[in-house]
Structure 1
Amino acid sequence: MGYDWNDLPSELRADIESQTGAVTGTEPPTAGTVSDFAATLETTGGQVFCKAVREDNSKAWMHRLESVVNTVLPASVAPRMLWKVESAGWLALGFEHAPGRHADLSPGSADLPLVARTLEQLTDALTPAPPLRAFSLADRWAGEDFWRKLGDQHRDRLDPWTVERLDTLILAEREAPDLIDGKTLVHTDLTGPNLLVDGGTVRVIDWAFPAPGAAWADTAYMVIRLIEAGHTPQDAERWASSVSMWREASPWSVTTFGVILTGLWTLRAAEAPGAPWNGLSAHGLAWLRHRLR
């Protein structure tokens, strides 16, 4: 359960207010967060978005990484970090308040061309990837064997179509790390809630898990999110084809990406059934059925 502003240590609140002015109100985010505390702070110095995490939280490293990554992101597509406070066993980050609403990824949405344009802008700005201490996508997934584990330990949870193609899935998973490697810093968690639309502008938030990888990787992540939002796999890929990096990608490389990501989600769904893994696994499998038909 997350903390409210008044639940935070008084020393931490005082140190934050030394950066912002007195806090007169808070508004929690409308989407989920891994932070122990997250809110837009209404202060005598104006609005600021704050996320904070206890130092003993196992995900505190994600906040530290984001504090470094933010310094190299283009201001046009990512809110600027204004300050960092370490106090009372907590790490707090303050960002400029980004107006807007979460992107609508449903079929026919007017946001979809804006998202495609934003992907192009990110790739232009973040290729080559800035020198950060972040594992590449290739390193992140090297040596993983999600599908072999599923076949050995959870075969009874797999549908016949998947069982029949286990050998292909295992092979693709082994090839994936080399094929998804690249020189672009990619977000790796693009979702509707992580895209803020304000008029004709889209800003990308929550850079907690970026990695150097293939320039088309974020577009591939978005394909599954579009399927989640109600698109058919064919329509999701038709949208993706409006992005130049996608058009340049090797079809088999994209397939191996879908295989290893869906394998991760399917294994998690088998080991811890329930949302969100069941849904993500189902959407990933729908995409693989389209690509491996």
Structure 2
Amino acid sequence: MEIPATGPGSRSRPRPTWSELPGAVRSGIEHVLGAPVAEAVSVPLGLTPGLASRVRLADGRRAFLKAAGVHRGPSDVEKLRREARVLDALGPDTPAPRLLGFYDDGRWAALACTDVDGRPPVLPWTADELERVLEALTTCAAATTPAPLGEPRFVTDWAADLTGWRHLASNPAAAEAARAAFPDHDFDLERFARLEAGWSVRADGDTLLHGDLRADNILLTEERVWFVDWPSACVGAPWLDLVFLLPGVAASAPAFDVAEIVRTHPLTRDVAPATITATVAALAGFLVTVGLEPAPWYAPEVRAFQLAEARAALRWLDGLI
């Protein structure tokens, strides 16, 4: 039985449901899980087009299930394969779901993991919940160092994305569009491009990073903080997840002093200020450029979110230079 998601936060483009998966795929998933699916509840949040459901099995066990087919894009299937490898490698002290099973027939893939009965942080962020998440980031970095996987490397995965200012500096039409979208900011493209180019100098490391940390990839329970959705995990310096999380925090709650968080947090307080400035510059350039791209059909709201993050990152950068 599939129960559709309703109410605030439901997606304008609904995900496929359990009953809409091909029969052979459903049977294969149930074989991997060792029991039939008795109930599935679609989850509305997220920025991927595949199935995402909380399921109850006939034997009473629960799981969180994600599935995707190559007909919607081979990259979504590959992301599930990558996430399965990551979850299988994470140690028990990592605040992440455990892998319960994986199905892959070449055209469809499905991942089942721990069903965390939690909720995302309240938006705008509150001080107490942000403090919990910041503490959990320290715990997570300790649990994933040394990294249980050697690849992919953060500096390789992000090499093409973190060139936004250099792209704008060499593309007058794109630069004009960016200036029009951010009229309150005077872009010094050549200076920003030089700053951005230094982001990777200290970005390598031996920590398995989440790689895509934002509020909708965090779940809070009474007991702990969980980081979920790990397909973007990569190996790099332990402080990167924190820096990449903060524009979203500042976009939601501008009163938080993200620069002060970086100066005092255990993961970033010993990182050279020039390294932080270069990384924030690169992140701001990425958010500016990606925020102006056409929205994917399955997540029309994502560009507005990224543009809000871009404004927060630009404010942060202004305070650093």
Q: TM-score scaled by structure 1?
A: 0.90
TM-fit CA distance, 1:40:
0.4
Contact 1:106 1:231 survives alignment (8 Å)? no
Does the 8 Å contact 1:107/1:231 carry over to 2?
Answer: no
- Aligned residue runs from structure 1 range 10-49, under 5 A: 10-18=23-31, 19-45=33-59, 46-49=61-64
Determine the C-alpha separation between the residues in 2 that align with 1:286 and 1:96.
38
Q: How many residues align?
A: 290
Say if 2:122 is the partner of 1:104. Answer: yes
Matches of 1:97 and 1:108 in 2, distance apart? 25
Cα distance change, pair 227–75 in 1 and its aligned pair in 2 (3 A): same
**Following TM superposition, by how much is the alpha carbon of 1:177 offset from its aligned partner in structure 2, in angstroms?**
1.5
- Between the aligned partners of 1:149 and 1:69, the Cα distance in structure 2 is 32
Deviation at 1:169, TM superposition (A): 0.7
Q: Contact conserved, 1:155 with 1:163, CA < 8 A, in 2?
A: no
Deviation for aligned residue 1:238: 2.9
Q: State the shift of 1:245 in Å.
A: 1.2
Q: Cα distance, 1:161 vs. partner? A: 6.9
Distance 1:161 1:147, change over 3 A: farther
For residue 233 of structure 2, what is the amino acid of its counterpart? Answer: P
Which stretch shifts more, 206-215 or 124-133? 124-133
CA distance in 1, matches of 2:250, 2:209: 20
Q: Using the alignment, how far apart are the partners of 2:46 and 2:82 within structure 1?
A: 19
Look up the match of 1:50.
65
Q: Determine what percentage of the aligned residue pairs are the same residue.
A: 24
Alpha-carbon separation, structure 2, partners of 1:105 and 1:236: 16
For 1:194 and 1:286, locate their aligned partners in 2 and report how far apart those are by CA, in whole Å: 24
Deviating more after overlay: 277-286 vs 138-147: 138-147
- CA distance in structure 1 between the partners assigned to 2:158 and 2:36 by the alignment: 45
Which of 171, 175, 182 is the matching residue for 2:194? Answer: 171
Which structure 2 residues correspond to residues 259-270 of structure 1 after superposition, within 5 A?
Answer: 259-270=281-292
Residues 284, 23 of structure 1: CA spacing in aligned structure 2 closer, same or farther, 3 A cutoff? same
2:97 is paired with a residue whose SS is: coil
1:111-150 aligned at under 5 Å gives the runs 111-134=129-152, 136-142=153-159, 145-150=163-168
Which region of structure 1 is more displaced relative to structure 2, 264-273 or 37-46?
264-273
AA of the residue aligned to 2:175: R
1:60 has 2:82 as partner: no
* Structure 2 residue identity aligned to 1:44: A
Partner of 1:197: 220
User: Per-residue CA shift, 1:229-260, capped at 9, x if unaligned?
Assistant: 21336x22333445201111111111111111
Shift of 1:283: 2.0
Equivalent AA in structure 2 for residue 279 of structure 1:
A
Counterpart position of 2:19: 6
Q: What is the aligned counterpart of 2:304 among 275, 281, 290?
A: 275
Contact 2:150 2:235 in 1 (8 A): no
Which residue of structure 1 aligns with residue 265 of structure 2? 243
What is the distance in 2 between the residues matched to 1:170 and 1:259? 8
Aligned to 1:290: 319
Q: Please report how far the alpha carbon of residue 78 of structure 1 lies from its aligned counterpart in structure 2 after TM superposition.
A: 0.7
Structure 1 residue 105, shift from structure 2 partner: 5.8
Tell whether the 8 Å contact from 1:183 to 1:214 is kept in structure 2 after alignment. Answer: yes
RMSD of the TM alignment (CA)?
Answer: 2.2
TM-score if structure 2 supplies the norm length?
0.83
1:69 to 83, 86, 91: 86
Q: Could you tell me how far 1:118 is from its partner in structure 2?
A: 0.9
Question: Contact conserved, 1:138 with 1:178, CA < 8 A, in 2?
Answer: no
